[in-house]
Every structure is written in structure tokens, then in C-alpha cells.
Amino acid sequence: MYTTIHWTIEDSVGRLVLTNPPSNKMGILFFDELSDFTHKLDTKSISAIVISGKGRHFSYGAELHELLNLMQSNARDNPDRNHYSPFFSENISSFNFFYKLQIPVIAAIRGVCLGSALEMAMHCHFRFCGENSVLGLPEASYNLIPGCGGIYNLLNLTSRLTALELLLHGNTFSAQQALQWNIADAVMPSKTIIDKAINFARKIATGYSIYYKKDYLKLLQ
């Protein structure tokens, strides 16, 4: 049904896979398909969702040239600087969809997870990272800011000092650093991360409440 994402359900656990390898970039088509998916998804038959990327990487993030062209076109068509393209508002809504779900949503991150990909992961309730994962919000390097809720979520996850440094410098960081800064919830071998995320989802699905996150994470030990 979709080109950039793939959805399956097995034993009531839904798997959403980003399917634009090798980098699983998030272009206009991706965001359009994700929006359509979130509007149509019926969660009554699923108890949890695991989000991952096809191949070695979660995602390199946005297709910048596509989004910049869209922004420039929007600016030409709408001289009012207060005008905000519905496209970008819809992207935020698509990411918020996962956070607002009453079932656990887990991001299983392997390889690279940058920009809007990390923003998507930060809208999940849990983030499991492969040992060699590389994360970051590099928007500042392009004179941009994270536009899909990344600033708000980062400030909620880690200290204000760490968040400001990551946002202003745009530096990448390791899975171990992400765990130290509370951006990641667990670090594990990349080969096992999908299976562990699915098994974890099944364990906590019954009676799930986002408010008991720390208690659930004890099941990984």
C-alpha cells in the first residue's frame, strides 16, 4: 500500500518499518504516507507498536533539498511571515499520534538516527539503541531548527544544558551518550534489538501506562 513505510501485525504487535534503504530518508512522500497511515490506523486490534528502519539504519532524517524547496515555494506564495505550511503542521501531528497512543510504542534504533528521524523516535514511549548507533539533531548545521517537536521533547528528556548544547551545535552522539543523557532507555546489540523490542512490547502491553516507564524497563534487566 505504501512505498516508504511497511506495516505488519503479528500476535497483536504492530511493526512499522521505514522502507527507503539504505538511508531510509524522510522525504515529502514519506511524510504524506505517514500522515495517511496515522489517520487510517485502527489500534483496537494491536497491543503495542515497534518502529524500526529497514537495513542497517533507522533513518538519516529529512530529504533536506525537498523540504527546503517546499519552504521556499511556500514563502513565495505566502509573503506573510506568520504563515505556516499545513504540510509541516501535519508532520508534527503524525509524530504526536504515536506519543498519544495508550499502547506502548518502541523505537528500535540501529545505525544512524538523525534529525527528523530522532524527532520521530523521541515521540515514542521507549527508545532502544544498537551499540553502534549514531544519533543527533544536525539542523543547526543547515541554519535550521528541529521542526517536528524535537526541541520540546529533548528538553523533557534530558537536562536543559545538554539539550541546548545538542540543539545549538548539532553534534552527533553515541548510543551510550544517549543512555547517559536519558535520550535512550537501553543499549543492546544491534542484531538482537528488534526481537528484544517485540518481546518487551508483549510483556508490558497488558495494563500499560506511560507513567510506569521506569518499572517496565526493569523487565529488560
What is the four-CA torsion angle of 114, 83, 91, 20, rounded to 10 degrees? Answer: -60
Could you give phi then psi for residue 61, rounded to 5 degrees?
A: 95, -155
Q: pLDDT per position in the chain (221 positions), as tens?
A: 899 999 999 999 999 999 999 999 999 999 999 999 999 999 999 999 999 999 999 999 999 888 878 777 766 666 665 555 677 889 999 999 999 999 999 999 999 999 999 999 999 999 999 999 999 999 998 888 898 999 999 999 999 999 999 999 999 999 999 999 999 999 999 999 999 999 999 999 999 999 999 999 999 87
Q: What is the pTM of this model?
A: 0.93
Domain limits, the chain = 5-220
- Assign residue 143 a region: left if phi > 0, alpha if psi is -120 to 50, beta otherwise? left
In CATH, the number for domain 5-220 is 3.90.226.10
- Give Cα 84 distance to the centre of its chain: 22
